[in-house]
Chain A
Amino acid sequence: MSATILVADRLSHRFGGIQAVNDVSFGLQEGEIVGLIGPNGAGKTTLVNLMTGVHRPQAGRIRFGGVDVTAQRPFEAARRGLARTFQIVQPFPRMSVVENVAAAALFGGARAGVADALGEARAQLDFAGLAGFADRPAASLTLAGRKRLELAKSLAMSPKVLMLDEVNAGLNASEIDGALDLIRRIAARGITILIIEHLMKVVLSLADRVLVLHHGQLIAQGSAAEIVKDERVIEAYLGRKFAQRSKAETSRESAEQSGG
């Protein structure tokens, strides 16, 4: 079994009267892809914000590579190798695409100088399929392009753990296929990925393991196959229809397998 790289230990966070994250504990193993699902307002983004220093957890500890990083600030998380993308994309709009990525390489990836960072940025744009847009202003990209830009920016920081907050939201089917392929190639580099996602198709096809958050609490975790059968998850998030359809699909598949 590989080493645990990131540990959340009994994290809690409250905004006014809302308990956004309530006593959540989990660990990420090096190199795995973990899905984080749950209804809107379940606390998924807050959890990522806690892990990357945007908010300091009111209770609990975070350890990254054996070091306690609970009190880190966002720029420290980035330099340590804890990168994240935003649900609402956050480009530097008046810079070119390549400058956006170079900024991440320079400050988050600790590149020696601006020229070095620009070189690294071009390589990451190639990888993310944005090489043709390098010199355009970031504001001119389509939504799918901006999501790719977010990914290229996080990759330029040479992260060990990458948290993807709804990178597929708002994309059409073919764009999603492209994004899925990109995420698989990122994982193949050995980067540990925590992916927040509403599209079950994406979660089921990517995640080695799934965490389910509801009202700030971790109500289930396990393999994707286990999760879709879990009564609490069906009740809270997936819904009966999805459960029946997925059950029907599995039984048809097994029938076909036994029949064939």
Chain B
Amino acid sequence: MARGLIFAAWALALAATPLWGSNYIVVLAVMIAMNTALALSWNFIGGFTGYPSFATAVFFGLGCYAGALSQRAGVAMPLAWLIATVVVAAFAAALGAIVLRLKGHYFAIGSIGVVEVMRLVISSWGSFTGGGDGLNVPLLAGGPNVVARTFLAVMIGLMAVTFIVTLVVDRSRLGFALRCIQQNEDAANMIGVDTVRYKVVAFTLSALFCGTAGAAYASWRGYIDPTESFSILTSIKVPVMCLLGGAGTVLGPVVGTAAFMLLEEVFWANFLDYNRAILGAVIVVLIFFLPGGLLGIDWRRFVAWLPGRPKVAA
């Protein structure tokens, strides 16, 4: 229950940004909420199940395009988001049945390949997708402040739904099965876990809300193109956010995304030329020194280790 309260407090803090912050701060809050939803999504396949997926950009980009094309065809905005969610979920289930036959590095490389294939297909299929020129999406009425507040509410809502699904999965039979698969897939199979089916469910869950987020993002921005929608950086940053907080935990993706986005802001503001290099260094440090993420640190030992503190007798 404590986890739910921490999350609720954080969601409220993000929701309160328009009360004190500039439009820049509100936009940052929207991006934090959206990325938290993406990181929580990745957690289903990358955290609980232990499959290093780089397919986040596939689902996000497909959501952008499914939503944008629906809206351009005259579908109402919320319905377009729903269509995007369903399209992405169906796509993920079909894709999962194929790529989840791969394991470890092979699965990672396979999922990266899908990002590139999707980007090229959308770029080349100009007659349907607008190709490299991108697509305009009908804009929401109202000034930038109104639009930012509307999408702040939408993304916080999406983040909350993803979090609640995470909580439910964590305690359910599904979550138990995914953890078995993560720790020893062959043994899971041997004790009666239908590993293929559960992996496809996890992969679909990891896609679902990325599709919604993509469609909402397209409506918010009013313009999408293949390079931004299917950016490989999306596929890299989102897992890093999840790992930074603690993969396979409920609160990890939330903490990790917040920490990552705030660090990124600091780096952007202060090291304009080197921010990507710093991002790379953060990833390396993370892998070597924080395999369990921020939530995996034994904080009591860390505090005891700090200089100037009396050492705790073992």
A, B assembled together = yes
Question: In the bound complex, what is the Cα–Cα distance between A109 and B177 (angstroms)?
Answer: 14
Are B189 and A91 in touch, CB under 8 angstroms? no
Are B179 and A52 in touch, CB under 8 angstroms? no
Q: Closest A-chain residue to B193, C-beta based? A: A107
What's the interface size class on B, roughly? 10 to 19
Are A92 and B180 in touch, CB under 8 angstroms? yes
Are B190 and A74 in touch, CB under 8 angstroms? yes
Are B184 and A93 in touch, CB under 8 angstroms? yes
Are A91 and B194 in touch, CB under 8 angstroms? no
Shortest CB-to-CB span from B94 to chain A, Å, is 21
Question: In the bound complex, what is the Cα–Cα distance between A110 and B191 (angstroms)?
Answer: 10
Q: Closest B-chain residue to A139, C-beta based? A: B183
Question: In the bound complex, what is the Cα–Cα distance between A211 and B103 (angstroms)?
Answer: 37
Shortest CB-to-CB span from B252 to chain A, Å, is 15
Q: Which of A69-124 contact B (CB under 8 A)?
A: 73-75, 78-79, 84, 86, 90-95, 102-104, 106-110, 113-114
Residues on B with beta carbons closer than 8 Å to the beta carbon of A86: 187, 190
How many residue pairs link A and B with beta carbons under 8 A? The number is: 67
Contact string against A for B residues 170-195, beta-carbon threshold 8 Å, 1 for contact and 0 otherwise? 01110011011001101111111111
Are B186 and A90 in touch, CB under 8 angstroms? yes
Shortest CB-to-CB span from A10 to chain B, Å, is 25
Are B192 and A78 in touch, CB under 8 angstroms? yes
The answer to the question of A212 belonging to the interface, with a C-beta cut-off of 8 Å to chain B, is no
Shortest CB-to-CB span from B170 to chain A, Å, is 11
Are B192 and A104 in touch, CB under 8 angstroms? yes
The answer to the question of A148 belonging to the interface, with a C-beta cut-off of 8 Å to chain B, is no
Give which listed residue, B176, B183, B184, contacts A114 with CB less than 8 A: B176
Are B184 and A157 in touch, CB under 8 angstroms? no
Question: In the bound complex, what is the Cα–Cα distance between A107 and B173 (angstroms)?
Answer: 9
Are B192 and A92 in touch, CB under 8 angstroms? no
What's the interface size class on A, roughly? 20 to 34
The answer to the question of A153 belonging to the interface, with a C-beta cut-off of 8 Å to chain B, is yes
With A92-B179, A103-B176 in contact, do A73 and B189 touch (Cβ < 8 Å)?
yes
Question: In the bound complex, what is the Cα–Cα distance between A194 and B153 (angstroms)?
Answer: 61
Residues on A with beta carbons closer than 8 Å to the beta carbon of B186: 74, 90
Question: In the bound complex, what is the Cα–Cα distance between A105 and B247 (angstroms)?
Answer: 26
Residues on A with beta carbons closer than 8 Å to the beta carbon of B171: 114
Question: In the bound complex, what is the Cα–Cα distance between A114 and B188 (angstroms)?
Answer: 16
Question: In the bound complex, what is the Cα–Cα distance between A69 and B22 (angstroms)?
Answer: 67
Question: In the bound complex, what is the Cα–Cα distance between A91 and B184 (angstroms)?
Answer: 7
Residues on A with beta carbons closer than 8 Å to the beta carbon of B184: 90-93
Are A107 and B183 in touch, CB under 8 angstroms? no
Are B180 and A108 in touch, CB under 8 angstroms? no
Are B187 and A90 in touch, CB under 8 angstroms? yes
Question: In the bound complex, what is the Cα–Cα distance between A221 and B189 (angstroms)?
Answer: 31
With A92-B180, A114-B171, A114-B173 in contact, do A108 and B187 touch (Cβ < 8 Å)?
no
Give which listed residue, A74, A95, A102, contacts B183 with CB less than 8 A: A95
Are A103 and B173 in touch, CB under 8 angstroms? no
With A92-B180, A95-B179 in contact, do A113 and B173 touch (Cβ < 8 Å)?
yes
Q: Which of B176, B179, B191 has the largest number of chain A CB atoms within 10 A?
A: B191
Are A90 and B190 in touch, CB under 8 angstroms? yes
Q: Which of A114-154 contact B (CB under 8 A)?
A: 114, 153
Question: In the bound complex, what is the Cα–Cα distance between A52 and B195 (angstroms)?
Answer: 15
22 interchain pairs, CB-CB under 8 A: A52-B190, A74-B186, A74-B189, A75-B190, A75-B191, A86-B187, A90-B187, A91-B187, A92-B183, A95-B179, A95-B183, A102-B176, A103-B177, A103-B180, A103-B193, A107-B177, A107-B192, A107-B193, A108-B192, A114-B171, A114-B173, A157-B191
Spell out A's residues near B (CB within 8 Å). 52, 73-75, 78-79, 84, 86, 90-95, 102-104, 106-110, 113-114, 153, 157
Q: Closest 3 A-B residue pairs measured CB to CB? A: A108-B192, A78-B192, A90-B187
